[in-house]
Structure 1
C-alpha cells in the first residue's frame, strides 16, 4: 500500500484518521480539478464532449465498484440524502405501511422515513446491540413492512452488517432492501447483485476519496419506473440534448433522477479518485484498512481506562473504531487530539478513528503514543 504514498502529500505531522467523515483527496484528484479549471480559463466549454467521456467513465467505474448489472442502473446525484429522498418520496405508500431501520442510524437514514408520517407510514427502529443484529432486523419485518433501510456500516459504532443475509431475508419476506452504503463503499467490497438490494447510495467524500457534492444512486432496473419523480429538467429526459423536441419522457435509465446540469467539476475529481481505488483493488483496500483498524484496536486495549465502543469481532468491523477514556469527557478529548494534529471525530459517546488503506504507520504509532500519555499510561 505504501507504493501509493505519493498520492497523499498531507501536511507534515498530520495524523488523518477521519475518513468516515471527509477524506483528503489523492494527488490525482487535485490534478484533475486543476486541469479542468485551466481548461475553463483558457478554452471554456470548447471540449465539452471530452468532459462527457469522463462522466461516462465515472459511471462505469461506479458500476464496477457496485457490481451493478448495467451503467443504466447508476445515477449521479448531489448526496446520499437526495438519493434516500428519491426512494422515500418516490414509492407509492399506503396508510399503515412500515419502514424498518436501526436505532443507530445517521440522521439522513432516519429523518427521511420519519417525514413520511403524514402519509401514515410508521418507522420501526431496531436495537442492534444484541448478538444477532440481522435476525433482529428481519424479525421486525412484519406483514405491513414495505422497506428495510439500513447503513451497511453504522457511522458511530462501526458495526458492519451482513448485507447478503439481509437481502435474502428481505426477498423471502417480500420487503424492499435499501442500503445506505456511505460507510462501506470504498472501504470494503460491495456487490448490489449479491445483496439483492433494491437501492443503494453513497456520497463520494468519505471512503471514495472524492469531493462533497457528488453521490452515486443505484436503483434496480425493475424499480426505476415505480419511483414517482418530483424533479424535472432537460437532463433527465430520454432525448436529452434534443432541445427543439416538444414531446418528452423521462429517461429509461437512472439518469431520470438527474434533473439538470451535471456536477462536472465533481465528476473530474471523483473519477480520478476511483481510478486509484481500482488500481489498488478493493480486496487489497479492505485488507489494508482491517490491518490498520486492528493495529489501533490492539494498541487501545493496552491503555488504562479505555472502553472500546466498536465490535471486537473483526468480521463485524468496517473502517471505524470508536473508544472512550475514563478520565476524559468526549469533547475535551477530541479538542486535545485535534491540537495534536490527530484528526478524528466525536461520535457515539466516544472518539471515532477511521484510517484508510494508505494511512502510514507513523500516524497510528503517534496517535497511540499521544493517547497513552493522555490515559496516564
Structure 2
C-alpha cells in the first residue's frame, strides 16, 4: 500500500512536529466527515458507533499487547490517566515516587499534587548521566525501601532519549514497586508491549504519534490492580450494563471501563480508530523502522554541519536503541527562538524544546523532505567557513 497518499502536503511545507501534534491521515478525515453527516440526521446509527468504539478498544489492546480489552479505558488525555493512578492509590505519609528530572509537566505536576499527603517526589537526575552510566541505573539508585511507584516517559519529550522500560519494569517487580509509563512520545511510533516491560499502568494521548485527535487517550491498568485504585469520579458509563438506565442495583464495572465515568467522546473514537487502522495495517515493526531511519538520517546530517550542534544526549546520538522519533539541535551562531521563527517562515513545522529546535518526523515522512529541510538549514546556518 502507498501509505504516503494518506498524508498530502504539496505546497512546499514540511511537517516535522509529530511530538507536538500528529497529522490526520485521509481516512481519519473521511471517518470524521462521515460521522458528522450521520449525526446531522440524529442518532440512527448509534449501534454502529458502539461497534466503532469496540474496534478501537481492540486496536489499542493490540497496539500495546494488553491481555484483554477489559484492561483498556478511554479517557480524555494522558494527565487524566496519570491522575487516576495518583489519586487512586492509598498513599501513606513517608511514601515516595520516583520520576526523571526531564519529564513533561504532566508527569511531574500530577505526582507533586500528592505533597499534601506527605508523599515525597524524587527526581532522578538522568540529565546528568555520564556515557558510562545508564539513566535507568540512576532511577534505580534514587529508589529506596519507601518507594511505592516509579513513573517515567517512554521517550523524553525534550531530548528524545528512549528509556529501557523492560529494565525499569524488571527492577520494579523485584523491589515490589509499582511501574507507571507515560507513553505519549512513543505509542504509534515505536513498538510497545506492556507485558514484556512489566507495566502496571500506562497512559497516552492520541494526538501525537498515534495520528489522532486530542481529547481521547488510552489508559491501561493491569487487571490485578483495578480494585486498588479508589474511584474519584462516578457516572452512568462506569457501571456494569450501562445501557440499562432503569437499573437501581448498579455495580461498578469490573473492567477498566470503571474509569470512564460519563459519555464517551464519539468523534474522538471514530478519528482514533481510523488512524490506528492505518498504523496496524502498515505494522508497528515497519512504522518503527521508518521512524528510526528518519531520526538516524537527521542525526547524521546535523552532526555533519559545523554550523549546527546536536542537543540530544550522547546516548541518542551514538546508540540506535536509545532513539525514538525526536532529534533536538541548535545553531552555533543563532538563538533557538530566532532559528525557530526562520524555519517556520521557511515552511518547516517544528518545535522549541530541550533548549533548541526539536524535529520529529513520522514513519511516512519522505526522505526528500528531510533532505530539503537540511538544505534550508544550510542556508539559514551555513557551515563555518562557507562552502
**Superposition TM-score, scaled by structure 1 size:** 0.98
Tell me, in whole angstroms, the C-alpha distance in 2 between the residues paired with 1:50 and 1:30.
18
Q: Do the aligned residues in 2 keep the contact of 1:309 with 1:323 (CA within 8 Å)?
A: yes
Counterpart among 59, 63, 66 of residue 65 in structure 1: 63
Q: For residue 368 of structure 1, what is the aligned residue in structure 2?
A: 374
Kindly tell me the number of residue pairs found equivalent between the two proteins: 375
What is the CA distance between 1:18 and its match in structure 2?
0.3
1:165 aligned to which of 158, 164, 167: 167
Supply the distance in 2 between the matched residues of 1:205 and 1:128 (Cα, whole angstroms): 27
* 2:126 alignment partner in structure 1: 128
Deviations 1:77-106 (A, max 9, x none): 000000000000000000010000000000
Q: Find 2:101's aligned residue among 88, 91, 103.
A: 103
CA separation in 2, counterparts of 1:11 and 1:150?
Answer: 38
Shift of 1:11: 4.6
SS of corresponding position for 1:69: coil
Q: Separation in 2 of the partners of 1:346 and 1:363?
A: 20
Output one character per residue of 1:112-162: Cα deviation in whole Å (capped at 9) or x when no partner: 001000000000001113131111111111100000000000000000011
CA distance in 1 between partners of 2:367 and 2:26 (Å): 20
Stretches of structure 1 lacking an aligned partner (at least 5 in a row):
none
Other-structure match for 1:242: 244
1:49-198 aligned at under 5 Å gives the runs 49-129=47-127, 130=129, 131-198=133-200
What is the CA-CA distance between 1:356 and the residue it aligns to? 0.3
1:312-327 map, 5 Å: 312=317, 313-327=319-333
Measured after TM superposition, the shift of residue 309 of structure 1 is 1.4
1:306 aligned onto 2:308: yes
- The whole-number CA distance in structure 2 between the counterparts of 1:333 and 1:306 is 11
Residue 376 (structure 1) shift? 2.0
Contact 2:307 2:382 in 1 (8 A): no
Distance in 1, matches of 2:321 and 2:195, equals: 21
Distance between the aligned counterparts of 1:9 and 1:307, measured in 2?
A: 31
Q: Secondary structure at the match of 1:147?
A: strand
Cα distance between partner residues in 1 of 2:86 and 2:309 = 37
Distance 1:272 1:209 in 2: 9
The 8 Å contact of residues 158 and 318 in structure 1, kept in 2 or not, is answered as yes
Equivalents in 2 of 1:245, 1:211: separation in Å? 34
CA RMSD, aligned part only? 0.9
User: What does residue 290 of structure 2 align with?
Assistant: 288
* Deviation of 1:361 (Å): 2.0
The answer (yes or no) to whether the contact 2:56–2:273 under 8 Å persists in 1 is yes
* Distance (whole Å) between structure 2 residues aligned to residue 112 and residue 269 of structure 1: 27
Post-superposition offset of 1:304: 1.7
Q: 2:268 maps to what in 1? A: 266
Instruction: Give distance in 2, aligned partners of 1:366 and 1:205.
Output: 26
CA distance in 1, matches of 2:334, 2:234: 51
**SS across alignment from 2:126:** coil
Q: Secondary structure at the match of 1:96?
A: coil
2:352 is aligned to: 346
Note the residue ranges of structure 2 that are not aligned, 5 or more in a row.
none
**TM-score normalized by the length of structure 2:** 0.96
Query: What's the offset of the Cα at 1:330?
Result: 1.1
Correspondence for 1:216: 218
Asked whether the 8 Å contact 1:235–1:261 carries over to 2, the reply is yes
Q: Tell me if structure 2 keeps the 8 A contact 1:304–1:375.
A: no
SS of alignment partner, residue 94 of structure 1: coil
